[in-house]
Structure 1
Amino acid sequence: MSDSVSDAASPSRRHLLGLGASLGLGLGAGLILPPGLRPARAQAPLPAIPEKDAVIAFGHVGPVTDEGWTWSHDQGMKAVQAAFPQAKTLFVESIPYSADAARTFRQFVSNGANLVFATSNYGDFFSDVAKRAKKVGFLECDGRTTADNLGWYYFAHWYPTYVLGVAAGLMSKTGKLGYVASFPVPSCFASTNAFLMGARTVKPEASVQVISINSWFDPQAATQAGVALANNGCDFLFGIMDEAGYLQVAQQRGLKAAMWNTDMRRFGPDAYVSSIVVDSRKFYVDQVGRRIAGTWTPGTTLLPMGGGVDRDAWGRTVPEAVARQADAVREKILGGYTPFVGEIRDSKGKVRVAAGKTMSDLDLYNWDWSIEGVTGLGA
């Protein structure tokens, strides 16, 4: 366990939330609680603590040098260090989904942590520790459990994913889209479904073939999955990986690809279309500030498009007309439009969302079935 971390090697041309002024993606946007989400029940906040006594802990699913998900959350920790220089920060990388996770979180508490972030879903390994440490605040990324001192947060990634789907539909010649998934979990269902729904607005015959590799970070497996999808005729690759394996396949095979977490274009400059990029810096600083001030209570937060998650700047080979058409959809969503309206059928043809019914953000967050046209993920 380390109480600080040196700057990881930052990939060139990082564009977290499209940080060019021309994009105007609203890094300064406030945190929004989407429709359907409500704060946890009213309760007394945890007491204030002097900044010099604050201990803030981060538990990561991967290495902070992955140039993806964990790297992004590590930037959030660095933002906390800059905002609260007297506070102490702890972090552990590559925590497994096992009893070792619970031991790590208990160690954070033993080391005096006042607020603990799990930057991935650890379920009971996390919540059981929270139950036994009532004076400590706990927040779980992609969590599903709340308690007096436990909340969760995540990113409404299905909206920018839908936008990338529009671009994919416009750029794909075959309509066969490939997706490298980790596990059959809601984040992957929401991602694959939103991607195809966007694509089908411009290419109605589009389909998505999924290969799951049972890992968030496995460059070799992601590369092999990318090769298999390319061999099956997919000419546009997407996924939810923490590294650039399948982007490199797309570059080598003359295909197009969209990524997750950060700007990875240097690994495939001709193939790169964009990424779903996440930025939790403001959220982490806000939460730590509240914990120190004595105003922190747990809640449920989805960081919205334009205020925590968005598309990256477009790749150099994306035609201007494609970018313009996809961005028109993005602007429409930012204005309040949602594309997730029934009728929506599942992969077996059953109507899951009736005609005219709108899926709430909680529905989208907990999506656990594939729509018609998505194969390989299950359900």
Structure 2
Amino acid sequence: MISIKSLSRRGFLNMGAAAGAGLLLPKTGLVRPAFAEAPLAPVDVKDAMIAFGHTGPVSDEGWTWAHDQGMKAVEAAFPGIRTSFVESVPYSADATRIFRQFVADGANMVFATSNYGDFLYDVARRAPEVAFYECDGRTHMDNLGTYYVQHWYPSYVAGIAAGAMSKTGKLGYVASFPVPSVYSGTNAFLMGARTVNPAATVQCIVINSWFDPQAATQAGTALLDNGCDVLFGIMDEAGYLQVAEARGAKAVMWNTDLRRYGPKAYITSIMVDFKPFYVEQVRRRLAGEWTPTYGLLPMGQGVDRDAWGETVPPEVAAKADAARTKMMQEGWSPFVGEIKDSKGTIKVAAGQKMTEEELYHWDWSIEGVSGLDA
């Protein structure tokens, strides 16, 4: 049995050792592991088949939709290539059967757009001639790589705008599960907000789903009823944005541009874009250059803030973007101690900068965030 943290596409499965030292690929944040064998043999585009196993429906306008756009980019870049996908792959033995069927159908490359752990690894071990990628994975093999995004940086930027636009200082967060991506997102968001409002707080409500418009709407309503006036979350749809629009509140979204569902409420979104990554990995696979990579796509290359909403004051946008520019041009990180957890314990010493590995695995709330820690 796997834990609740394993059941999230952005959670972590501690089922294998991380790869050792490797080559950092320029401008990508990805690493080519030192243990990788020779590249897999080239494949003619007319004989190639690329498969995608998705955690949700491609119509969600969120996480899965973004990955589906990546598949469409592959189709456009390589005319004649065959693609295949399955939506809403369950976290069960059915996942293994689906990934195994991809291989049986002739897939040369398989992308799992969520963390499927051993449901995927068993298939990869039995198909060494097939290239596999696991989004938000952490186990590496000669034919299995991993990828994810450094979303905590744009979350911090969005937090600055949220803190400046909030009248109550109470920020609400609609959470899927208490997993690292939620901890890092809420912590970064509040740290950004506290640069303009040191008394700001974040209240979280966990709905135990990535895609549940009704539950997200109910959670957003409850947070607003409790005094929050800016909402954030990690949902794959626009439920809480619509609540914010109806109630005269503000909201920050995830995955895609959803402003049409709440143009007055919309501040920005944590945007993900996997198209360049997918096209490049398929190109390498066809050319016979593919060995696995693993790591985090940086801000500006896979994740970023969306264009600001129509009600974001120019001075607020400028202040938030000053931090974004400093991150992108100077490599600045705001995640420097002293940082205490929600119980007041010092977790990051004064002057100590959190590593990307620590940010990726963040599993505790900072002071001011409530609703996630037991």
TM-score for the superposition, normalised by structure 2:
0.91
CA–CA separation in structure 1 for the residues paired with 2:96 and 2:74: 24
Which residue in 1 is equivalent to 2:22? none
Number of residue pairs matched?
348
- SS for the counterpart of 1:237 is strand
Matched, 1:52 2:46: yes
- SS for the counterpart of 1:378 is coil
CA–CA separation in structure 2 for the residues paired with 1:201 and 1:135: 50
Which residue in 2 is equivalent to 1:61? 55
What letter is aligned with 1:375?
S
Which residue in 2 is equivalent to 1:375? 370
Matched, 1:259 2:221: no
Per the TM alignment, residue 98 of structure 1 is displaced from its structure 2 partner at its CA by: 1.4
Per the TM alignment, residue 357 of structure 1 is displaced from its structure 2 partner at its CA by: 1.2
Residues 263-316 of structure 1: CA deviation (Å, up to 9, x unaligned): 111101110000001100000000000011111111213111111110001000
Per the TM alignment, residue 41 of structure 1 is displaced from its structure 2 partner at its CA by: 2.3
CA–CA separation in structure 1 for the residues paired with 2:353 and 2:152: 14
Which residue in 2 is equivalent to 1:93? 87
- CA RMSD in angstroms comes to 1.2
The aligned runs of 1:348-367 (5 Å cut-off) are 348-367=343-362
Which residue in 2 is equivalent to 1:33? 29
Residues 306-345 of structure 1: CA deviation (Å, up to 9, x unaligned): 1111000100011111001101111011121100111111
Matched, 1:339 2:339: no
What letter is aligned with 1:271?
A
Counterpart contact for 1:58–1:117, Cα < 8 Å: yes
Residues 235-267 of structure 1: CA deviation (Å, up to 9, x unaligned): 000000000000000011110001001111110
What letter is aligned with 1:41?
F
The aligned runs of 1:91-240 (5 Å cut-off) are 91-240=85-234
CA–CA separation in structure 2 for the residues paired with 1:63 and 1:344: 38
What letter is aligned with 1:122?
Y
- SS for the counterpart of 2:73 is helix
CA–CA separation in structure 1 for the residues paired with 2:33 and 2:271: 25
TM-score for the superposition, normalised by structure 1:
0.90
CA–CA separation in structure 1 for the residues paired with 2:285 and 2:116: 22
Aligned counterpart in structure 2 of residue 285 of structure 1, from 279, 285, 288? 279
| Farther-moved stretch of structure 1 (45-54 vs 315-324) | 45-54
Aligned counterpart in structure 1 of residue 304 of structure 2, from 298, 310, 317? 310
Residues 167-214 of structure 1: CA deviation (Å, up to 9, x unaligned): 011001111100001111111111111001101111111111111111
Counterpart contact for 2:158–2:268, Cα < 8 Å: yes
Gaps of at least 5 residues in structure 2 are 1-25
Residues 3-29 of structure 1: CA deviation (Å, up to 9, x unaligned): xxxxxxxxxxxxxxxxxxxxxxxxxxx
Moved over 6 A (4+): none
Residues 8-62 of structure 1: CA deviation (Å, up to 9, x unaligned): xxxxxxxxxxxxxxxxxxxxxx74227xx66352421111111111110001111
- SS for the counterpart of 2:281 is helix
CA–CA separation in structure 1 for the residues paired with 2:57 and 2:360: 25
What letter is aligned with 2:370?
T
